[in-house]
Amino acid sequence: MEKLAVVALLLLLAQLSSGQTRSMCLHQIAIVSQACIMIPWRGGGSPHAATALLEPLHSDHHGGDHRHHHAATHGHRRGHHHGHGHRHLHGSSAEEHCCRWLKEVDDVCVCDLLVRLPRFLTKPDHNFTVAVGNACNATYSCGGI
């Protein structure tokens, strides 16, 4: 669930033009993204569904080449590997690292992203909480918009 929240923030950030977003916020969200991507998937459903939303559509027809499809849905870049075999060893330290950076994100950055959400989420004194497993909760407070 925590990855979905981070992905949702990233999707909203992608919709904003650079003129609307402070560079400080871009850096903070990018750091959180890098820190939290290493958390092993523990939720229901496919961990690749949210990542696939960020991938551009392409028309490569490889006739069932599973390895190509697998890499495309993971968001792999040329020369980028994240080693599936070792992800389970770093669970708690990855969560702590993610938590550290989530807590550094300014409320203003999160609130600027929330402006793009449906109206019912912009009520007065809104709190947005991202839970990272049992490691931490990062709560951002936003006034009415």
Number of domains in the chain: 1
Global pTM exceeds 0.95: no
**Can you give the pLDDT at residue 71?**
36
- Which amino acid type is present at position 140? Y
Domain that holds residue 110: 2-142
More confident: 37 or 16: 37
- Whole-number average pLDDT of the chain: 66
Residue 138 corresponds to which tokens in the numbers above? 């990062």
**Residue 86 pLDDT class (50, 70, 90 cuts):** very low
Tens digit of each residue's pLDDT (9 = 90 or more) over 43-55: 655 555 444 333 3
More confident: 59 or 11: 11
**Residue 117 pLDDT class (50, 70, 90 cuts):** confident
**Can you give the pLDDT at residue 7?**
61
More confident: 56 or 97: 97
